[in-house]
């Protein structure tokens, strides 16, 4: 594919790749302002919001995970990476294409009490909503059983 070949979303392939790389890089560089800048560029020119989240921001978080495991990043860096990721998602979310077809079902989702990880859970909830499911998100303090 040449540098100026249009992608499926309108933007040239090189521009699309640059935006996806920019989103990933913003998370790796722990930079919410950069994440916002590239999210805005995605909204204006493509790739679409789903791709921008999955192939951009989430790809960056995979790199961050590797750095955490190699002890190059620690919890404070993870928090800043999460902030960058959430900033990008917040801007992109209203632009996700929602499947307005048949109601597919209802899902209850949560992170169990004691575990504060919620980026993956939030992402899954977002994707289920855009796919036509009703999602009850119980947040990140849900008890694992009724007391």
Residues 68-127 binding ligand B12 (CB under 6 A) are: 68-69, 75, 78-79, 82, 109, 114-121, 123-124
CA atoms of 2 and 108, how far apart (whole Å):
45
For tokens 């849900």, the residue is 142
139 near ligand B12, judged by CB under 6 A: no
Query: Is residue 61 a contact residue for ligand B12 (CB under 6 A)?
Result: yes
Report whether the peptide linkage leading into residue 47 is cis, meaning its omega lies within 30 degrees of zero. yes
Q: Which residues have C-beta within 8 Å of that of residue 22, sequence separation ≥ 6? A: 34, 37, 38, 41, 56
DSSP label at residue 12:
B
> What's the min distance (Å) between Cβ of 6 and ligand B12?
28
In the bound state with ligand B12, the residue whose beta carbon lies nearer, of 36 and 124, is 124
92: number of Cβ within 10 Å: 25
Indicate the residue whose CB is closest to ligand B12. 120
Task: Return the range that interacts with ligand B12 (CB under 6 A); candidates 22-30, 60-68, 89-97, 98-106.
Answer: 60-68
Q: Which of 94, 130, 124 is nearest to 109 (CA)?
A: 124
Binding mask 18-57 for ligand B12 (x = CB under 6 A): ----------------------------------------
Residues that bind ligand B12 in the complex, under the rule CB under 6 A:
58, 61, 64-65, 68-69, 75, 78-79, 82, 109, 114-121, 123-124
């Amino acid at each position: 594919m040449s540098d100026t070949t249009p992608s499926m979303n309108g933007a040239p392939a090189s521009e699309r790749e640059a935006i996806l790389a920019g989103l990933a890089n913003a998370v790796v560089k722990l930079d919410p302002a950069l994440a916002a800048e590239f999210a805005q560029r995605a909204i204006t020119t493509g790739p679409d919001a789903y791709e921008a989240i999955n192939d951009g921001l989430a790809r960056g978080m995979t790199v961050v995970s590797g750095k955490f495991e190699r002890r190059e990043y620690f919890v404070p860096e993870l928090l800043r990476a999460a902030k960058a990721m959430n900033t990008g998602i917040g801007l992109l979310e209203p632009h996700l294409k929602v499947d307005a077809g048949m109601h597919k079902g209802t899902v209850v989702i949560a992170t169990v009490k004691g575990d504060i990880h919620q980026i993956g859970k939030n992402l899954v909830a977002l994707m289920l909503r855009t796919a036509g499911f009703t999602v009850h998100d119980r947040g990140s303090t849900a008890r694992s059983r009724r007391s």
